[in-house]
Structure 1
């Protein structure tokens, strides 16, 4: 009976919310073993995975930055080439404009020379035609004058030497009269 009372007293003194000491000790030992295994094996493996991921992310960022820098350099090079091409195109346009003006000036000079040559040829042709017409008119006028003189005088002026002298004298007098009338105006 005494043993039963001790058990009963021990059972009454034990709080059901607080576990027994042996349970606490064995729980601490099990927790220490699990913590050791976790600390020794799981944590380094997780740290390695995190380090690899960090490296991949940092490497990706570095590659992205390098690609971005390369793209920026290519863009700058493209812009420089574009500016160079634009300036070269402007230079070509200016050269073409200058050459066009030179060609126009040369064509104008050639046209003026051709025009002057044509005008000079026309003047010389007109002078030759005028001289030919004057000669023909003198001859016709001389014949007409001799014919009229023969009719007025009533004798024949058939002698060619006489006739030529008479015609020349008549035309000289006619030229003198027209020169006097031109000077009088």
Structure 2
């Protein structure tokens, strides 16, 4: 057995009761301070962060929804603009075709009018040339006939008859040569 006097009876593995009590009291005080002051601050910080994260997520979801709505609105506006542009382009083509058709019709009418005026002017000039030639040929024929016959044909009635007879013979001769030329 162990003797009581020399400290040999103290087991080093089993701690002293007073030391254990003091350590337990310090642990309890530290536990009380942690539970009473530190844990609520952590919980408050965690709650704030959780709230900030959830608020951020909500804001992000709201921003995503707004962006999606804006994108859809943009797509609709783009589609409307393209539709409107196509409609305006088709109206412009139709209007251009109508204007072109109107201009062609006016040009054809104007061309026909100018052609008709030209034909009328040509006919009038031809008639004037025929009258002028008849007068000139008549005076030449009268002068020539007067020289051939040897007498003056200054009488207007007589000279007009001679000229008319000469021109009629000339026209008959011209018509006869044209029909023979056409037969060949």
Q: Settle same-fold status: TM greater than 0.5.
A: yes
Structure 2 CA distance for aligned equivalents of residues 119 and 159 of structure 1: 44
| Matching residue of 1:6 | 4
Residue 122 (str. 1) matches residue 118 (str. 2): yes
Q: Is 2:21 aligned against 1:25? A: yes
Name 2:50's counterpart in structure 1: 54
Q: Give 1:12 deviation, angstroms.
A: 1.6
State the match for 2:59 in structure 1.
Answer: 63
Give 5+ residue unaligned stretches, structure 1: none
Distance 2:104 2:117 in 1: 19
**Paired residues for 1:27-106 under 5 Å:** 27-106=23-102
Please give the secondary structure, in 2, of the residue aligned with 1:19. coil
Aligned-residue RMSD, C-alpha: 1.9
Paired residue total: 179
Deviation at 1:20, TM superposition (A): 0.1
Higher helix share: 1
Shift of 1:137: 0.4
1:127-166: CA deviation from partner (whole Å, max 9, x where unpaired):
0000000001011111111111111111222211111122
Query: Could you tell me how far apart the structure 1 residues matched to 2:27 and 2:69 are?
Result: 59
**Using CA pairs below 8 Å that are at least 6 residues apart, which structure has the higher relative contact order?**
1
Partner of 1:144: 140
TM-superposed CA distance for 1:39, in Å, is 2.4
Unmatched 5+ stretches in structure 2: none
Secondary structure class of the residue paired with 1:32:
helix
How far does residue 104 in structure 1 lie from its aligned partner after superposition?
Answer: 2.3
Q: TM-score, normalised by structure 2?
A: 0.86
Q: Secondary structure at the match of 1:12?
A: coil
TM-score, length of structure 1 as denominator length? 0.86
CA distance in 2, matches of 1:108, 1:15: 128
